[in-house]
Structure 1
């Protein structure tokens, strides 16, 4: 019951952050779901919930979506999804846990450091961000840091960026699930129907809470909270991987 409650709590928190900041689900929920369910099943659940959450938000922000940027990012992300789906079949769980935690920590740190950098909006940077995002989304359930680095470095207007991320995360989440269904069907978590329904309800609850919070919490405050939670979750995931490797 405790594990179930923590899983649902992580989903609610992630969905709420996704609504407030535009891309918070995986950064917040992934470390805790990986910690509670394991590196493979936890990431799959992140992909499922991330796609559902982004799909639900699309209709609220459709007017602000930059469809040209979306198409370029989504196309390049597909190149990173397939090799990552193959990789998860061969790496042992402790290695995956440690890798996921390290990737999260590095991605977050680079985000903070790159706030003062400025890059021109060139296609090669956009394609590189999309490819890295697709790889990380499939391997670690975290596709946001790479595209966030691009948006920060190119000064992409936040409202447009947050809106464009919703069809993007829906697309890469769906393709990540499809690639895993083909290459590693055993990676899908075996959960009772009641648990799946509870997870779906948690996603909706998080979106409702996020709607309320978006009216009261500044984007800056939400981003600071997101970074703190993600760092703590990344550290916990690394510790679990080390303990599993030692045991």
Structure 2
């Protein structure tokens, strides 16, 4: 019961964070869902909840979505999945996870140190961010930090960024679920109907809380939260890689 309560609380917090910052569901909820269901089924449930949460938020923020940037990010992210799938077979997962985490942490630090420098909003940088996001999402399960780095570097208005991330995460999340359903249907968690309903209610509650909170959170505070989440993503990836290496 305690674990179930923690899982539902994590889903509420993850959905709320997703609404306020544009990302963060997996970083908040994944540890608890993995604890309840295990590393494979837990990640699949994270994908399900993340896609559903992003899909629900789209309705609330549709007027602020930059559809051109979304299309470029989504297309390049799907392309980024291909080399990641190849590298996963060639490079040990711990090495890949630690390398990605270190690169993310260093990149974020450089951006913050050089905060006066602004990256031009050119298409090639957008496509690079999407490709890296798709690559990192497949290789280490962290697709958000790469696009958050792009938003920080280009001074992308946070309201537009957070809105645009919803169809983006919905797209890559749905694509991931479809691919897993085709290649490994046994990985989908088998939960009682009551638990599925509880998770759905928790997602809804988190969205409502996030919607209320977003009206009172200044853009600067939301950007700080975004940076914190990106660092947490980098740290979690490094820790997971080290844990896998010593296991």
For 2:160 and 2:151, the matched residues in 1 are separated by: 10
For 1:196 and 1:74, the matched residues in 2 are separated by: 29
Q: CA deviation at 1:183?
A: 2.7
SS of alignment partner, residue 155 of structure 2: coil
Q: CA deviation at 1:66?
A: 1.0
For 1:150 and 1:234, the matched residues in 2 are separated by: 15
For 2:18 and 2:196, the matched residues in 1 are separated by: 20
For 1:61 and 1:232, the matched residues in 2 are separated by: 25
For 1:100 and 1:31, the matched residues in 2 are separated by: 16
Aligned residues: 244
Q: Which residue of the partner structure matches residue 26 of structure 2? A: 26
SS of alignment partner, residue 156 of structure 1: coil
Moved over 6 A (4+): 86-92
Q: Which residue of the partner structure matches residue 178 of structure 1? A: 178
* Counterpart mapping for 1:15-54 below 5 A: 15-34=15-34, 37-54=37-54
Q: CA RMSD, aligned part only? A: 3.2
The answer for unaligned runs of 5 or more in structure 2 is: none
The alignment status of 1:111 with 2:108, answered yes or no, reads: yes
The answer for unaligned runs of 5 or more in structure 1 is: none
Pair 226,12 (structure 1): closer, same or farther in 2 beyond 3 Å: farther
SS of alignment partner, residue 119 of structure 1: coil
* Counterpart mapping for 1:161-240 below 5 A: 161-222=161-222, 224=224
Q: CA deviation at 1:122?
A: 2.1
Q: CA deviation at 1:83?
A: 5.0
Q: CA deviation at 1:24?
A: 2.4
TM-score, with length taken from structure 2: 0.80
For 1:180 and 1:86, the matched residues in 2 are separated by: 16
For 1:36 and 1:231, the matched residues in 2 are separated by: 25
Q: CA deviation at 1:136?
A: 2.4
Pair 204,85 (structure 1): closer, same or farther in 2 beyond 3 Å: farther
Pair 242,114 (structure 1): closer, same or farther in 2 beyond 3 Å: closer
Pair 190,159 (structure 1): closer, same or farther in 2 beyond 3 Å: same
The question of whether the paired residues in 2 share the 8 Å contact of 1:27 and 1:230 is answered with no
The question of whether the paired residues in 1 share the 8 Å contact of 2:100 and 2:237 is answered with no
TM-score, with length taken from structure 1: 0.80
